[in-house]
Structure 1
């Protein structure tokens, strides 16, 4: 669901916008496709990013120069794999190769000299690891030109995946499926990253990341995987702006694919070709706010809406098939049975009906080195599993484990040349029980490098991820496990939590 914020100019709103931007940068870097790992958050403030990343299965070490910020982070993240520590960013010490992700938003501009700090963050990335940085140039901030920061990263052996200096910080709401964190409590200083002891705090009094003359920078860099005797092509990077296409989709046809799945084919009306590079990319559908007749579309390359836009309903949907020549987009709606707006709309969708969209976002990156593929999911993930299976090369070993209500749902996963293990849930509510994990535990997985993708209820996915990484011993870059939905809080107390 989208996160809606008021459009006032209060300190809390500005803090929230900067938090949203930090989480957006991590999402754009593809952190949502990683199965946890170790993450360093440098200049952690009061711990909102650390909390969000810990809830995405990362083990987080948070650093800040301010003891009060470190105390607030440890308090906010109590019970989660987060450790906050006091460190002066000017003399930052991080373990070399110690992290899969090193993140810092809105801290570098408080340092008069940032090259040593950037160099330390670069050296802290493990092979395949990411550095995600944001800072502000201009105004009352210290300037650090992007090309200089990128030069330091490249000197340390990293490749630049993204470098832009036009990031806007403003109040807006993000697309469904984005990494989200809790709102700031009144009085938090989330918009004021702790400066290094001895910095002139007065220099930054009243400084704002959206003040006239300022430019906000976002840089994403990656440390290449170590070369081996086997020359293996690297997976394509998932780093790209979102959305790269916005416009209107018009219903061409709608049919009942199975008792719980409805197929809707759209025509792209007023936008160019969708930027689809991988199977199972997701598109965000946008319905008008109550009382409005048309959806308001976001800006290209930035999920930002015009001032005063009311709360619109959005939903992420897998692109089942896409015909670039005709502009036809095939999607499958799982009918949750919860009278949700998307399900109700899909039930009544008729040729000529229209809906806004922004797209697309990568949820699967093909690994050309994988010798076999394992796909795991419930009905919400079946369209993605089907799209991925269709994109695999002929002769590739593919195994799918799918939990559905009954045999009537098999048609949604048409995979004649794949090994499919069906689990029939029956009348058991979705997301309850451990049937998916039990079947996966019983699989005799092939040898060699694999690629595993899983999607479903978040608690189920957490437990599956732990099994695959800890017990099966698969590498983190072989596993992508995504929480597609969560059991309502009213039911969570009755569901056994995954083992830790």
Structure 2
């Protein structure tokens, strides 16, 4: 992050997509030399705090990009965190510091079928992945949402089934998504899997994909975007510890 330029962008407009998702369109003069083709890449937003405290940084996926504009989709959590609070109150003309995009994390397209799994936090990235799959791609996308009112119309290949799974109150053990994935038919051939979700859900999915299905790393992307009951820093610490434990058990 230290080596990526930071730009002050302004809010162009806001769009309420569903009950719990709000789109913020950012732009401004500093977009003139912005890198192109960055949909699905992540950016760091810097939310100011009171007093002399450093800004709080949060990562968001570029959902859509146009000349001089990018769209970022915010989940409106309850209670609202610093990012969702800022998004809910954002008005055209408001300004925020944004780090330039990090690496894209796209599903491996070299596969016989595809499986995408995630919750609302991962929905922007899942949406971009679906749009970039070939038209004849087949498989499944399992998306955990808090309400039926959060179902979106997504562009996806005709043979890739979208499963909108409603879970109003995620449990700490993270058993919801894995139960839905295990209920799916496992298709023939080499699958490519992309999954991002809550920390405990990610660990359950990782055990299933790596231990039970023995998927190679080349065809498996897993990430956690948050951890239930933890602050952003608490989630980062859990991820660091999990990474160490994973390395020592290999």
Q: Normalising to structure 1: TM-score of the pair?
A: 0.43
1:8-407 alignment, distance < 5 Å: 242-243=3-4, 245-275=5-35, 277=37, 279-291=39-51, 310-323=53-66, 326-407=67-148
Distance 1:472 1:359 in 2: 36
What is the rounded CA distance, in whole Å, between the counterparts of 1:254 and 1:271 in structure 2?
18
Give the distance between the partners of 2:71 and 2:23, measured in 1 at CA.
7
C-alpha separation between the residues in 2 aligned to 1:388 and 1:286? 26
Q: 1:423 aligns to what?
A: 165
Task: Count how many residue pairs are aligned between Structure 1 and Structure 2.
Answer: 232
- Structure-1 separation of matches of 2:60 and 2:124: 9
In structure 2, stretches of 5+ residues that fail to align are: 232-248
In 2: Cα distance, 1:380 partner to 1:489 partner: 15
Following TM superposition, by how much is the alpha carbon of 1:330 offset from its aligned partner in structure 2, in angstroms? 0.8
Judge conservation of contact 1:253–1:265 (CA < 8 Å) in 2: yes
User: The residue matched to 2:30 in structure 1 has which SS?
Assistant: coil
1:444 aligns with 2:185: yes
Please report how far the alpha carbon of residue 488 of structure 1 lies from its aligned counterpart in structure 2 after TM superposition: 2.0
Q: In 2, Cα distance between the equivalents of 1:345 and 1:471?
A: 41
Report how far residue 372 of structure 1 moved.
2.3
Provide the TM-score with structure 2 as the length reference.
0.83
Residues 436, 455 of structure 1: alpha-carbon distance in 2 compared, 3 angstrom cutoff: same
More strand, by proportion: 2
Once the two structures are TM-superposed, the CA of residue 350 in structure 1 deviates from its matched residue by: 1.2
Residue 255 (structure 1) shift: 1.7
Provide the residue aligned with 1:112 in structure 2: none
Q: Report the RMSD for the aligned CA atoms in angstroms.
A: 2.6
SS across alignment from 1:487: coil
Whole-Å Cα distance in 2 between the matches of residues 242 and 447 of structure 1? Answer: 43
**Alpha-carbon separation, structure 1, partners of 2:102 and 2:213:** 29
Aligned to 1:480: 221
Structure 2 residue matching 1:263: 3-state secondary structure: strand
Question: Over residues 353-379 of structure 1, what are the superposed CA-to-partner deviations in whole Å (9 max), with x where a residue is unaligned?
Answer: 111110211241453422322110111
In structure 1, C-alpha distance between the alignment counterparts of 2:103 and 2:136, rounded to whole Å:
25
Unaligned runs of 5+ in 1: 1-174, 176-240, 293-309, 491-499
| Counterpart among 182, 196, 207 of residue 455 in structure 1 | 196
When Rg is computed on C-alpha atoms for both structures, the one with the higher figure is: 1
Rounded to whole Å, the distance in 2 between the matches of 1:319 and 1:372 is 25
CA shift in 2, pair 1:376/1:275, >3 Å: same
Separation (CA, whole Å) in 2 of partners of 1:256 and 1:404:
16
Over 3 Å counting, the alpha-carbon distance change for 1:381 and 1:489 in structure 2 is closer
- Tell me if structure 1 keeps the 8 A contact 2:176–2:201: no
Q: Counterparts of 2:174 and 2:220 in 1: how far apart (Å)?
A: 22
377 and 431 in structure 1: CA distance in 2 versus 1, 3 angstrom threshold: farther
Contact 1:247–1:269 (CA<8 Å) still a contact in 2? Answer: no
| 2:242 alignment partner in structure 1 | none
Alignment match, 2:207: 466
